[in-house]
A = this chain, B = another copy of it.
Amino acid sequence: MGNRAPLPGEFALIRKYFAPLAAGFSGALDLEDDACTYAPPAGHDLVLTADALVEDRHYLRSDPADLVARKMLRVNLSDLAAKGAKPVGYLMTTALGPDIDEAWIAKFSAGLAADQQEYGLSLMGGDTVATPGPTTLSLTALGIVPSGRALRRRGARPGDRLFVSGTIGDGILGLKVLKGQLFDLGASHRDALADRYHLPQPRLSLGAALLAGGRVTAAMDVSDGLVADAGHISESSHCGLIIHADRVPLSAGAEEALAGDLDLLPVLLSGGDDYELLFTAGAGFAAPDSVTEIGEVITGSGVRVLDRDGAEISMRSAGWQHF
């Protein structure tokens, strides 16, 4: 187990670090039972989503533990946002590797506490074990939506318009910055991009507004990359999608990076970890300021990315491959 000081036992860790995260949620039973209880309010469905994160694969061992915690939570909140859901709480299992010491856990739970407050949710339950391998985190997030109203991937129709929130490509550029690449970029751009990679901004308010407005026909969050995720909507909705590359919103840092290396364009469009909302909407949709129209839904299948002259741009990669 390396040179670290021995960790407190499982029950001591739970009492000291995790039970306080569940104090605001009566159904968590102070984590003293092996299960928790919850009833969604009348007229609501639960929305559930789960993600696993592996050290040095989904985050870096050197990443600050509070940021790892917040990113894990926010990635799942982004999935809830894409459904138009309001977050309620989460269950978390942690398989802690040999390099984890109590300071790491203290910082990790401080990160969870900060984001619980920011997003109004609570730890509900979980499990803590040890592993000889890389630390592996798994989180199941719960949210609620008005009954039968959860946004889906499968409703896009030819003639609908395609929108995306925020800016695209910052996640992959942030990762490049953290890997020591893009050293020509200005320091403030580098910092901003690294922040985008470390700390996604789940678009919960936007998701709830899109659901309430009633004109959105398909929605998801951009986690695998814009083009790959557009492909998911295309496949689920049985229609084709056109993306106009010149309309895809870019941050100032991404603009500068692209100006220095035009070959970055397909990287931006196919890189993951943006956690913006990608959605289609029918007639009568009033787009809020935070979203940009980037394309349209057509009959057929697949995703075509066009330049400003209407010529197709070839994508080097259709998104993250996990294997």
Contacts and interface: CB of A to CB of B under 8 A. Distances in A.
B131 A322 contact: no
B45 A37 contact: yes
Contacts of A32: 153-154, 232, 235-236
A93 B127 contact: no
B9 A50 contact: no
A94 interface: yes
* Assembly stoichiometry (copies): 2
A112 to B, nearest CB: 15
A133 B130 contact: no
Interface residues of A, number: 71
A83 B36 CA distance: 9
Contact of A129 (B54, B91, B97, B236): B54
B152 A29 contact: yes
Contact of A140 (B9, B38, B50, B133): B50
Interface string A48-66: 1111111011100000000
Interface string A1-40: 0000011111000000000000000010100111111111
A25 to B, nearest CB: 11
Nearest to A135: B133
Contacts of A125: 48-50
5 closest cross-chain pairs (CB), A and B: A133-B133, A138-B138, A52-B93, A35-B49, A140-B140
Interface of A: 6-10, 27, 29, 32-40, 44-54, 56-58, 79-80, 82-83, 85, 91-95, 97, 124-134, 136, 138, 140, 142, 145, 147, 150, 152-154, 220-221, 223, 232, 235-236, 321-323
Given A130-B323, A131-B133, 12 more contacts: A35-B80, A37-B47, A37-B83, A39-B147, A48-B124, A48-B142, A50-B125, A51-B93, A54-B131, A57-B131, A93-B138, A129-B322
